[in-house]
A = this chain, B = another copy of it.
Amino acid sequence: MSRSGPDGATQEPTGAGRPRAGRRRGVSMADVARLAGVSAQTVSRVSTGHPGVVDSTREQVLAAMRQLGYRPNSAARALKYGEFRTIGVILFTLSSTGNSRTLEAIATHAADAGYVITLIPVGAPTQDRLLGAFTRLGELAVDAVIVIMEVHLLDAATVAVPPGVHVVVVDSDAGDRYRVVDTDQADGARQAVHHLLDLGHRTVWHVAGPRESFAAQRRALAWRTMLQERGRPTPQVRRGDWSAESGYRAGLDLAGDPDCTAVFVANDQMALGVLRALHDRGRSVPRDVSVVGFDDIADAGAFIPPLTTVHQDFAEVGRRCVEAVLRQVRTGVPETGTTLVSTRLVVRESTAPPPGG
């Protein structure tokens, strides 16, 4: 059998009126040009808004476009221009509020600049998967990439970034290799600790995020540094995995320590768990123990009691990411260095002076 078609069956004659699944070969400039009685180039000029087309002609062309339902083929444009007007976003998970909201801001601001976002999900945070994502990236139609993740892993992947594709990273210490945009974790943590010490607490306990997280590292470091600067003892760190469940375990542990009157928890979800643990152990918040979180998630104000926490401006992080990445695309010059977005402490009802303080 002459294997002319993929399945050896009779190949359809493309001219016949079969609906051709998938192929939607739409209206092209040539079709519009024919109807309007002009050349395809004139249609192109109208379509791109170039000057040098007389009004009457322009009107004719626009009418023809409307009549045929013409829409420019972005693949052809991309081919011609050598750019896709697309930004890839590599991320591990959307389950964290921060990632979702950053992504949303990125998408919005990219859209404003005429760019669209392509999502490149990386199943699990392993080197393999990440390299796979970067490899796939090579075949993807993107002009630039924003990476949202914990970035020890980025090292090995460095080589894999296709040449000419610009990179911005969120939540990383890769500022020596890429442009990094991040919340000012250290300052946020300092505000939290400062607030608790100012209320009169002798020192502040800490429930940290996972060891691999740079955000967690920096929050913990700032907490420790601040206590040392003020000459306060630094209690042993409890460590969670960002989940409320892990916060609950840490909270049970802390509840057993009568000295503990103030806790800085590295995120709101774990803080929720801490609150429940303290509640379960009969320790009143804020009367017996004060708790400060980090993130200011939407629900923080509805916790029992409403949580004092460090507000992160994810929208601003997203905005800066897009700004930086498009700047690189425009100039063609890769950037390095870190851009910090400031935080602010939102004081609610989970903090108070220490008992008898």
Please list the residues of chain A having a beta carbon within 8 angstroms of any beta carbon in chain B. 5-8, 19-26, 69, 71-76, 78-79, 81-84, 86, 93-95, 97, 100-101, 103-104, 107-108, 111, 116-121, 123, 136, 138-141, 143, 162-165, 243-245, 247-248, 269, 272-273, 275-276, 279, 298-299, 301-304, 306, 329-334
The 9 closest A-B pairs by CB, nearest first: A24-B164, A244-B302, A21-B332, A75-B78, A71-B138, A94-B104, A117-B119, A75-B79, A94-B100
Q: Does B100 contact A330, Cβ atoms closer than 8 Å?
A: no
Q: Does B331 contact A26, Cβ atoms closer than 8 Å?
A: no
Instruction: Find chain B residues with CB under 8 A from A275 CB.
Output: 304
Nearest CB in chain B to that of A306: its residue: B276
Most buried by B among A78, A141, A162, A303: A141
Interchain residue pairs with CB less than 8 A apart (28):
A6-B332, A6-B334, A8-B333, A19-B332, A19-B333, A21-B329, A22-B143, A22-B329, A24-B143, A75-B75, A94-B100, A94-B103, A95-B100, A95-B101, A107-B119, A107-B121, A116-B118, A116-B120, A117-B118, A118-B119, A244-B298, A244-B301, A248-B302, A269-B299, A269-B302, A272-B303, A273-B302, A276-B304
Most buried by B among A94, A140, A279: A94
Q: Does B302 contact A279, Cβ atoms closer than 8 Å?
A: no
Q: Does B75 contact A84, Cβ atoms closer than 8 Å?
A: yes
Q: Does B243 contact A83, Cβ atoms closer than 8 Å?
A: no
Instruction: Find chain B residues with CB under 8 A from A279 CB.
Output: 304
CB distance from A66 to the nearest CB of B (A): 12
Instruction: Find chain B residues with CB under 8 A from A334 CB.
Output: 5-7
Report how many copies the assembly holds.
2
Q: Does A22 contact B332, Cβ atoms closer than 8 Å?
A: yes
Q: Does A302 contact B276, Cβ atoms closer than 8 Å?
A: yes
Nearest CB in chain B to that of A108: its residue: B121
Bound-complex Cα distance A306 to B331 (A): 53
Instruction: Find chain B residues with CB under 8 A from A276 CB.
Output: 302-304, 306
Q: Does A247 contact B74, Cβ atoms closer than 8 Å?
A: no
Bound-complex Cα distance A334 to B24 (A): 13
Instruction: Find chain B residues with CB under 8 A from A7 CB.
Output: 333-334
Instruction: Find chain B residues with CB under 8 A from A103 CB.
Output: 94, 119
CB distance from A125 to the nearest CB of B (A): 14
Nearest CB in chain B to that of A269: its residue: B299
One of B79, B95, B107, B165 near A79 (C-beta < 8 A): B79
Instruction: Find chain B residues with CB under 8 A from A95 CB.
Output: 97, 100-101, 104, 298
Q: Does B298 contact A269, Cβ atoms closer than 8 Å?
A: yes
CB distance from A188 to the nearest CB of B (A): 21
Instruction: Find chain B residues with CB under 8 A from A83 CB.
Output: 22-24
Q: Does A111 contact B121, Cβ atoms closer than 8 Å?
A: yes
Nearest CB in chain B to that of A305: its residue: B276
Bound-complex Cα distance A120 to B298 (A): 23
Given A8-B333, A116-B119: 20 more A-B contacts, CB < 8 Å: A6-B163, A7-B334, A21-B330, A23-B81, A25-B82, A26-B163, A73-B79, A74-B140, A78-B141, A94-B94, A107-B119, A107-B121, A108-B121, A111-B120, A116-B120, A116-B140, A118-B118, A248-B302, A276-B302, A279-B304
Instruction: Find chain B residues with CB under 8 A from A298 CB.
Output: 95, 243-244, 269
CB distance from A124 to the nearest CB of B (A): 11
**A23-B82, A94-B101, A162-B71 given; A302·B140 CB < 8 A:** no
